[in-house]
Structure 1
Amino acid sequence: MKIWPLLLKAPKYLGLWMLADIAYVFFLSFFIDAIIPLSFSKFVFVHFLAIGVGAMVMFTGLGAGILWIPVLTFLEIRPSEAVAISIFTQIAGKGTGSLTYLFNGMVDVKTAVAFIPMALVGVTLGFLFSFYMRGYEQFLLYIFVFIASYLLIRTIQSLRSLTPAIKAPQVIPPPVIYAGSYPVVILSSFFTGLLSIGNSDWLIPHMALKLKMPISRAVATSLLIMFVTILFYLVLTCLGVWQGYASWPHGTYLLFATCSGVIVGGQIGTRLIRISWFERYQKHTFIVLLGASIIHLLC
């Protein structure tokens, strides 16, 4: 099976994204370690890591916070500040990737429209509650591990769902099913605002098990919901800084390396799902990455 032609064909312009990324890195190299407090070797390491994270997030639907929080704490960023950096990074990658899914007709638009208002309520509650959690960094990590472990078990359970991975439009569930899903959407978005754990980590298993949605469609739909949610989180952060209730997190210089990387990674991830072998092991990849993040934090 020829993989590269499948990665490079429509949606087009992956090559342009890569060329733009190379030009960006070349241009930024003149400012690294001079104006931007970041060594070139560290920039390259974080940048390529961001490409990998962006690809896996858009391919599996795994919330990037699950992957970024362990990495950022390893880079000596405090957990409370790592949350904001993680979410700001996700805006770039999930924005390009989720819009690609939307334009290719893979998103269940009616489900997304029904869930997004509840997601905005949840992320607002999580953002406000985070002000009371400052100074409890270790406790935040414990909550993070607990929630990630729950998601891991939930995803393993969803492996028993044998729904076919087809991209044709499915029968839309009646509104009463949407209403029954609202608590899941609000709770998952609450932890997005508190810990940057993506609500997509909850919504993908929920959509597969409860709404009987094919996994590829569940990934595309939940990522669009997640993108709108984190975009709203950025608005809340800007309002908090403007009103003097919050300050910009330490370590935001890493965004120079992460944002451009996840954009390219996001474009790669949306193409991986079109390859049958990768699509077959989409859930398994989700489980492996989630388990590895939990083990890293425990160690």
Structure 2
Amino acid sequence: MKIWPLLFKMPKHLGFWMLADTAYVFFLFFFFNALIPLSFSKFMFVHFLAIGVGSMVMFTGVGGGILWIPVLTFLEIRPSEAVAISIFTQIAGKGTGSLTYLFNGMVDVKAATAFIPMALAGVTLGFLSSFYISRGYEQLLLYIFVLIAVYLLIRTIQSLRYRISFIDTSPGINPPITYAKSYPVVILSSFFTGLLSIGNTDWLIPHMTIKLKMPTSRAVATSLLIMFVTILFYLFLAGISVWLGYASWPHGTYLLFATCSGVIVGGQIGTRLSRIPWFERYQKHTFIVFLGVSIIHLLC
């Protein structure tokens, strides 16, 4: 029996990730309170919470920051530090989850290829602007983002009344999609990612479902891949700023031992929920609920 083909297929199965997570927790158990300044009970609390957050983020596509930042603040992590830890955590979850979507053929590769360069340009502009924009103007930009997010939320709710069959529609009668018309949305949403650490999926998913006529599951998968590349590039920019002395490394990074491993498992669970017909039917509804929670969180 050849073992290499079997090992290659194993990461495609959820059992592999569950077993790897169990082994990871068992290994770390001997280092708590010694090398890792974290109790086992606190680790397990954050770890299981991360599994839940990762599942919902990969299923709905909503930015994980709306769930992570309040929790990290509750764990006595300063908001500015919580934003950085949240981004590092999302890289782990969205990385494995979006790649799973990609390998399963759920990502619109043409749209992702067209939008990723625009997203990188937007996040770079937002990141550089954060060093020059005062706190007052930053709050104003936050309110502008919320207003646009509310508009997209309303449009998404209205779209629930229309049931379009994307499977039965013949590709030959569909008008060609002009991705250039979507560039302003991608750049602007990614600008807020670089400036305020807000996920661009909150804009991209409604835009793709309404304007590009994508099924919700395909829009979620495509947007999450774009978001993963965006925040990965954001991390690169943050590392450069720390190296040059313009910023400092966040405290509380020991929580990443719990959050990153949890969202990896949660990401694998979330990507599989969209394959279940009942969950797929209410995927857009779940996104609406979480986008509404995101707006409320940003206003509080």
Superposed displacement of residue 295, structure 1: 4.5
Moved more, 144-153 or 70-79: 144-153
Q: Is the 8 A contact 1:11 1:100 kept in 2?
A: no
Quote the Cα distance in structure 2 between the aligned partners of 1:48 and 1:166: 37
- SS of the counterpart of 2:192? helix
Superposed displacement of residue 150, structure 1: 5.1
Moved more, 155-164 or 17-26: 155-164
State the Cα RMSD in Å.
3.0
Quote the Cα distance in structure 2 between the aligned partners of 1:258 and 1:53: 10
Q: Is the 8 A contact 2:202 2:291 kept in 1?
A: no
Return the letter of the residue paired with 2:221: A
Matches within 5 A, 1:212-291: 212-291=213-292
Superposed displacement of residue 151, structure 1: 5.0
Answer yes or no: is 1:97 the counterpart of 2:63.
Answer: no
Matches within 5 A, 1:1-299: 12-132=12-132, 139=139, 143=143, 149=150, 152-164=153-165, 166=167, 174=176, 177-295=178-296
Change (3 A) 1:23 1:229: same
Quote the Cα distance in structure 1 between the aligned partners of 2:265 and 2:170: 28
Which structure: larger Rg? 2
Quote the Cα distance in structure 2 between the aligned partners of 1:267 and 1:93: 8
**CA deviation map 1:116-161 (0-9, x unaligned):** 000001111222223346877x949965866665554443244344
Change (3 A) 1:71 1:115: same
Change (3 A) 1:238 1:298: closer
Q: Is the 8 A contact 2:122 2:194 kept in 1?
A: yes
Quote the Cα distance in structure 2 between the aligned partners of 1:84 and 1:220: 24
- SS of the counterpart of 1:131? coil
Moved more, 68-77 or 229-238: 68-77
Return the letter of the residue paired with 1:85: I
Change (3 A) 1:170 1:80: farther
Quote the Cα distance in structure 1 between the aligned partners of 2:234 and 2:193: 9
Quote the Cα distance in structure 2 between the aligned partners of 1:108 and 1:125: 26
TM-score (norm 1): 0.86
Q: Aligned pairs, how many?
A: 290
Query: Once the two structures are aligned, what percentage of the paired residues are identical?
Result: 81
Quote the Cα distance in structure 1 between the aligned partners of 2:37 and 2:169: 48
Q: Is the 8 A contact 1:79 1:140 kept in 2?
A: no
Change (3 A) 1:296 1:186: closer
Q: Is the 8 A contact 2:10 2:16 kept in 1?
A: no
Which 5+ residue runs of structure 2 have no aligned equivalent? 1-8
- SS of the counterpart of 2:131? helix
Superposed displacement of residue 298, structure 1: 5.8
